[in-house]
Amino acid sequence: MLNNKNQNGVSILIIDDEPLSGKTLTAIFKSKGFISKYSLYGKEGLELLEDGFDILILDLKLPDMNGMDILKQTKKLYPETIVILVTAYASVDTAIDAMNEGAYTYLMKPFDVDILVQTIEQALEERKINVKKERLVSNLSLLYKVSKELEGVIELHSISRLAARYLADVTEIDICAILLMDAKNKQFYFGALSGHENEKDILEQKRFKLDEKLYKRLVDEQNAVLIPKLKVKLQILEYIDVNDPKSLFIFPLVTKNKVIGLCLLISQEEASLEETVVEAISTIGSEVAECIENANRYLALKHNYLSAVTSLVSSIESKHLDPKRSEMVSERAAQVATRMKLPKDEIEYIRFAGLLHDIGKVAISEQILFKEDSLTAEEFVKVKTHCLVSTSIIRKIDTEHRLVPIILYHHERYDGGGYPEGLRGEGIPIGARILAVCDAFEAMLSKRPYRQALTEDEAVEELKRCAGAQFDSQVVDAFVEIFTKENNDREEKV
């Protein structure tokens, strides 16, 4: 939360039917460092309350209004304002009613000013403690919410966007950016940005390095940079076009004593961060940092896994199939899935499935795979088992069971005449339907002992002809749109 409050003192409004008493209290409060105003009338006092006051000293007897009515309106409109009632006329019932309506306490006139000041200080201290408790509960609730929402998220930019959103909420700062760190090259790049109109352009920027002084403080020393009054535009602000920034706060995102990114907060007004807010940023930042680190580990494992899979497939294809065919199927399948606006994680599984879909053919003899004559019924049954073999090979590593259905059913037909289970229409997983089209296209481009290779245009026409029967028409349409665009782009270059 921004802390833009006037630091000269606490603000006190006095509404009292005795001008001498009200003006005297105003002078005393000012001499003690408080900001104080006085009003004789209730309506005027309510208007003054719109400016915001910490304390309201309210007389029950006023020329134009009943003090109890002002109390009710004050607690309704300004619940954080502390109301201290004063009056020369009191009863037990009045005191109970006042406390029930939210008054902090009730003082009888005449009262000792020192006692009133002590009462004010006590009320402010209690409010401060309550605010800290509320902030602590709020931050714990926010941390739980952040943890639950980040749970299972392994995509770096998704984590960064969630972090930027929550940190912007908890700080109420105009602009929040999450910078991810390339530790090997000591570079940073934008993972997410909130509150800036040119978000897309900034996120697409290339990686950059911090100046040595800033890098040392943030990364080597793992200290935050807090600048409530920004007088010199730091180098890091060159990468975010902000008109006249007034405050800058940078927090390192640290996990296991290692900086993996930065949280950058920019305000176009002078601002400071309360201690509880800094604590909240630190707590949320640690959670975010751990999630980013987990995502980095996943990306490393994914890269190694993909490299191993690609090598394995290439090795198999060099002996049994067309070189690089599975890579082409994989790439085309991912393009079609993207064109059909499938979720990013599903696109990645379809891409993997494209690489692995024919890995089961390693169990089929070369005599059958390269047979020049037509296959016998028995041989065709053996060929059809490659889907089952492929899934048995990858089942143990497919912990989420997302690859198996795509690979197992990529030879199903839309009309129900395929294998291994004769599924039809929407009963076939969308990934398998996409893979079926892309696999068939690449197969038609390949020369076989029993037929010549088709041209790309001929293969596309064959896909169109079989749409609605062998293939899902929507998948074929998406494939053809991509193919047509690629042809048009090639012609424009020529």
Report, as an integer, the average pLDDT of 134-156.
64
What is the pLDDT, as a whole number, of residue 7?
34
Q: Are 17 and 124 contained in the same domain?
A: yes
- What is residue 145's predicted lDDT score, i.e. its pLDDT? 65
- Could you please report the per-residue DSSP string of 421-476? S---GGGS-HHHHHHHHHHHHHHHHS-BTTBPPPPHHHHHHHHHHHBTTTB-HHHH
Is residue 147 in some structural domain?
no
Give pLDDT, residue 2.
Answer: 33
CA dist., res. 463 & res. 315, Å (int): 29
264 with 335, same domain: the answer is: no
Residues 262 and 369 reside in one and the same domain:
no
Report yes or no on 82 lying in a domain. yes
In this structure, is residue 269 part of a structural domain?
A: yes
Q: Is the residue at 241 inside a domain? A: yes
What's the pLDDT at 310? 63
CB 176 within 8 A of CB 265: yes
Task: Among 79, 99, 132, identify where a domain stops.
Answer: 132
H helix or E strand, kind and range, residue 261 = strand 258-267
For residues 160 and 188, the answer to whether their CB atoms sit within 8 Å is no
The pLDDT of residue 276 is above 70: yes
Q: What is the mean pLDDT of the chain?
A: 83
- How far is it, in rounded angstroms, from Cα 472 to Cα 425? 7
Residue 161 shares a structural domain with residue 249: yes
Give residue 421's Cα distance to chain centre: 41
Q: Which of 374, 356, 369 is nearest to 314 (CA)?
A: 356
pLDDT band of residue 456 (cuts 50, 70, 90) is very high
- Kindly state whether residues 82 and 194 are assigned to the same domain: no
pLDDT digits (tens, 9 = 90+) for 407-420: 999 999 999 999 89
pLDDT at position 6 over 50:
no
CATH of the domain at 252: 3.30.450.40
Q: How many helices (H) and strands (E) does the chain have?
A: 18, 10
> Which residues are 208's β-sheet partners?
188
pLDDT tens, position by position, 234-262: 888 888 777 788 899 999 999 888 998 99
CA-CA distance, 123 to 84, in Å (whole number)? 9
Lowest-pLDDT choice from 233-237, 427-431, 457-461: 233-237
- Nearest to 22, CA basis, from 97, 115, 109, 119: 109
Q: Are residues 190 and 128 in the same domain?
A: no
Query: Which pLDDT value is given to residue 286?
Result: 82
- Mean pLDDT in residue range 371-388: 79
Residue 263 per-residue DSSP state:
E
Looking at the fold, whether 92 and 199 belong to one and the same domain comes out as no
Residue 181 in domain: yes
**DSSP alpha helix (H) spans, 320-376:** 325-339, 344-356, 366-369
Residue 343 sits in the same domain as residue 278: no
User: What is the distance between the alpha carbons of residues 60 and 457, in angstroms, rounded to a whole number?
Assistant: 91
Same structural domain for residues 407 and 332?
yes
Domain holding 406, by residue range, is 320-493
366-376 average pLDDT score: 72
User: Can you tell me the distance from the alpha carbon of 37 to that of 56, in angstroms, rounded to the nearest whole number?
Assistant: 10
pLDDT tens digits for range 430-440: 999 999 999 99
Q: Is residue 306 part of a domain?
A: no
Q: Tell me the whole-structure pTM to 2 decimals.
A: 0.50
Which CATH number belongs to the domain containing residue 47 in this structure?
A: 3.40.50.2300
311 part of a folded domain:
no
Q: What are the percentages of helix, strand and coil residues in the chain, rounded to 5?
A: 55, 15, 30
Higher pLDDT, 7 or 319: 319
163 and 90 assigned to the same domain: no
Nearest to 37 by CA among 121, 109, 49: 49
CATH number at residue 482: 1.10.3210.10
- Domain finish residue from 132, 165, 193: 132
Exposed, middle or buried by CB within 10 Å (0-12, 13-18, 19+), for 324?
middle
Using the 3D structure, point to which of 99, 132, 165 is the last residue of a domain. 132
pLDDT digits (tens, 9 = 90+) for 73-102: 999 999 989 999 888 776 667 777 888 888
Counting the structural domains of the chain, the total is 3
Answer whether residue 336 shows pLDDT above 90. yes
127 with 189, same domain: the answer is no
The answer on 437 and 378 residing in a single domain is: yes
pLDDT digits (tens, 9 = 90+) for 181-233: 988 899 998 888 887 776 666 666 778 889 899 999 999 999 999 999 988 87
* Structural domain contains residue 21: yes
Average pLDDT score over residue span 123-133: 83
